[in-house]
Structure 1
Amino acid sequence: MVATARSSLLTWTTIAPLLSVVVLVVTWGRVPGAFLVALVAVVLAATVLAAVHHAEVVALRVGEPFGSLVLAVAVTVIEVALIVTLMASGGPETASLARDTVFAAVMITTNGIVGISLLLGALRYGVTLFNPEGSGAALATVATLATLSLVLPTFTTSQPGPEFSPAQLTFAALASLALYGLFVFAQTVRHRDFFISVTADGVVESEEHAPTPSGRETWASLALLLVALVAVVGLAKVESPAIEAGVRAAGFPQSFVGVVIALLVLLPETIAAARAALRERVQTSLNLGYGSAMASIGLTIPTIALATIWLDGPLVLGLGATQTVLLVLTIVVSVLTVVPGRATRLQGGVHLVLLAAFLFLAINP
């Protein structure tokens, strides 16, 4: 019994958050050298992975569809922390960082997570089945949030450039929160059955792949999750100059910093969605993908809007022409994927090609 308790405390998911706090204390307020930069990067990545692991433990305890919601919110908290930290320390050149990161998150979730899940599910089971009512509602919410927050600023005239005026930004933030709140209510209270996994045998209401964690394990994971989130914020501030320098050294546009942030925070979410697809739980994968996209916009934009009170410089939110075309194409393809309630490897491949196009054009705009 004692040996089991000790071994559970020595897992990397327990050590990483605690180690990150030590590294944060050591590096805070210093200009780290190359070794410390590399160490912070490794610890930061491990802490993000550990944070999502502990969010998964909590998710298993509360069950679906609450579990997908917990994962999406945890990932979005990390994303918002990274954005605000980099914007606070980066100066005027980070004016478009929120837009770049949120748009990257939308493209990675709706094309990357969805595409990988559909492809893996179709490769193993031939045809993937999911609930079109729930997935369609999630996609409609994502499309509306993306248009209100990322497309409209390009066309409004109250403010020069692709920016919202203060009143417009306030409206977009409140609308984002309202839409996200309505979706969460539908997903977790009113229409929970729309977001439960579907198989050829009917509706699956429970996950059999893992035992439900005990209350003690759940509370421990919740505490470690909070520690990890705080550490990620601090380590991101320490690492931010190295991230920006690395992007410049590679010859990539400054906007690629947002892609790096989105790729980092969504990697564990992608792994979780892929695992669910391999267990014939594609609906869970779609919940994770669309839920993360929705949370990324619905929570990030209001937080950034509030942060503009003390952040200097403009807040560029409007997408360029190339980004707008990719977003519109993604929405159209996603509608055609979701409406039938079933998909093959072809649909998965189409979404992955769209993701590849986004990544290529982010490097070569």
Structure 2
Amino acid sequence: MYFLLFSDRNETGGRSPNSGIQVVPPIVTSSTFVQETPGEHTGFRYSRYGNPTRNSLDECLASLDDAKYAITFSAGVGALTAIMASFESGDNLISSKKFFAGDFIIWDTFKKLGVETKYIDFEDLNNLKEALDEKTRMVWIESPMNPSLTVLDIKAIADIVHLKSKAFLVVDNTFLTPYFQRPLELGADIVAYSISKFIGGHSDIVGGSIVTNNQELYEKIKASQIALGVIPSPFTCYLINRSLRTLSVRMEKHFENSYAVAKFLESHPKIEKVNHPALKSHQGFGIATKQSYGHSGIFSFYIKNGTLEMSKTFFKSLKLVIVGESLGGTETLASFPWVMSHSTMPEDERIKAGVTESLIRISIGLEDVRDVIEDLGYALEAI
């Protein structure tokens, strides 16, 4: 594994820099706050606008990306909705149908309000140059992509977006977290996260966030959040703050375990291909080593000559590995995008995105990796 050294990472994230006498930031559940006189307050007026527990989390999340601003939301799609709410009818955005299928619901909703989505293949950057126009407000990408784990050149995309348009670039960095990748340093304007995944890390919260250094974008998105009410609860913010304290050790273990499992699968006779950016066989290995500091627990693989029945048998044969939605928890989770996350996509579009009846997506947890490998081996022998 040849990735950038993680020598300059911020290790203070997850702890409020002004926490006073308490070691752990407190949970403030109050929905409203005392005002000395009408309109005069100490920074808090009503929890939809701001809350001490949430503000502490925002500070921590911003610090992890070396960003000036962060906003925490009730869900990852809440963050996307707040961004989209700042658009006007006639605007357009550029994305890809190879990305997370859940985003399509938001794109389709805003299409009814006059905001068009242009879907392109980002692996050929000429497509991006041709799609950008004076009405393009946003370019939204994932790298690595879900579920193919295709790696995109973030800096190259950022350079094109800023040279050819007035649009801003958003990078969904859910898979790698700021521990392994910092898109703002590569030219992104906004970094988005589903913090339900690796940042939350324990499969017990739902949340989302954005970070940015752009004050104008921050103020617009913050205003959208207040108007829409897509805020997380104080207890959710407390749990995320808790999780940030162990982010570095968890991500290192996710990487170590997932690489070991990927190497096992790559050599298995019943596996056609393994999509893990730390493998030299991966198409994006070179780019990944330049723009990332490592990889997390998420990757995917194809069963050789796989059919729907073979995949179903594989899942039924798992004993330790849990079959379920989501990713990034301490437990190893396997999912079947064909009938789960991407099932709402038309079949031809799924296949174009690399989502076939033989594709398995897996999120490697923190268990003893030998147990995970043994369980996967048993399930493969059953097909």
With normalisation by structure 2, the TM-score equals 0.26
Structure with the bigger percentage of helix: 1
With normalisation by structure 1, the TM-score equals 0.27
Structure with the bigger percentage of strand: 2
* Greater RCO, 1 or 2 (C-alpha within 8 Å, sep 6+): 1
